[in-house]
Each structure stands twice: as C-alpha cells, then as structure tokens.
C-alpha cells in the first residue's frame, strides 16, 4: 500500500448576512483565497417566519 497524503483543503468558509461587517468578511475571504489559491464558500441561513409556517 502506498502512503497517500490528502491535499490540504484551501477552502475558506464565510458567513454572510445583511450586516456591514459581513461584506468586509466576504471581501477579506476573497482576497485571502486569491493569495492562497483557495476557494470561498459563502453561507447564509434563513428561517421561515412563524406566521408563514404550516
């Protein structure tokens, strides 16, 4: 069996929302990804307001 090392994961995960700091975080993540050859995954979450839930 050959020793196999997995390649390092150059993934930057950043949470985004409507806050001003969120845009800054995304900008930083994109710049860092360019420097490191990484990829950016921007994530957000949303919850259905209770009055619309069935």
Residue-wise pLDDT for 1-54, tens only, equals 556 665 567 899 999 998 889 999 999 999 999 999 999 999 998 888 888 766
Count the domains in the chain. Answer: 1
Residue 21 counted as domain residue:
yes
CB 22 within 8 A of CB 16: yes
Residue 15 counted as domain residue:
yes
If we measure between CA atoms, which residue out of 18, 10, 6 comes closest to residue 44?
A: 18
Determine phi and psi for 13, rounding to 5 degrees. -105, 125
Residue 2 counted as domain residue:
no
- At residue 48, the pLDDT reads 80
Residue 31 counted as domain residue:
yes
Residue 22 counted as domain residue:
yes
- What is the number of residues in the chain? 54
Residue 16 counted as domain residue:
yes
Cross-strand partners of 43? 15
Residue 19 counted as domain residue:
yes
Range of the domain at 32: 11-48
């Amino acid at each position: 069996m050959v020793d196999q090392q997995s390649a390092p994961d150059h993934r930057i995960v950043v949470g985004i929302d409507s806050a001003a700091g969120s845009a800054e975080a995304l900008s930083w993540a994109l710049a860092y990804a360019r420097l490191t050859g990484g990829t950016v995954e921007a994530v957000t979450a949303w919850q259905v307001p209770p009055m619309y839930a069935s």
